[in-house]
Amino acid sequence: MKWKFPFSIVAGAVQRIVLPIRYTLQAAGLAGTEVLPTFGAAVAIDNALGDQHTVVANAATAPTIGAPTQNGVVGQWLLIVIRNASGGAMGATTFNAAYRLQAAWTNPANNNQRAVMFRGNGAGVWHEVWRNTADVLT
């Protein structure tokens, strides 16, 4: 897949960058910002801090993934990774109604993770566009 980004480089200097999510331009490409929200019954997703949120489940608590704190902009991406480090089965994960999931969520087994990516509509609704269909070993 070829990506097009709204910036140009002239003589090694970036002339213009306008991206809907937080990226850092590095020699190897674009790198997003990872956020580690506090795990518990209510998991706060502060998308003002970054576009990738890794939720590390360190107990069997059933988490609810809260709506992002910002509506975002049209086309903004949000990646949520659920990592099971609880030592066993996690409690059932639920997502706030702001997330439009394609199907029911399946928690990862212990020492595994799953991810889901959303695209915002700029009005507080986040539509799923991709997810892992199987566990990925951490």
- Tell me, yes or no, whether 121 lies in a domain: yes
| Higher per-residue confidence, 47 vs 129 | 129
The number of distinct structural domains making up the chain is 1
- Tell me, yes or no, whether 66 lies in a domain: yes
- Tell me, yes or no, whether 60 lies in a domain: yes
Encode 73-91: b = buried (16+ Cβ within 10 Å), e = exposed.
eeebbbbbbbbbbbeeebe
- Tell me, yes or no, whether 39 lies in a domain: yes
Q: What's the domain range around 103? A: 9-132
| Higher per-residue confidence, 84 vs 9 | 84
22: domain CATH number? 2.60.120
| Higher per-residue confidence, 25 vs 105 | 105
- Tell me, yes or no, whether 3 lies in a domain: no
Q: Would you state the pLDDT for residue 71?
A: 86
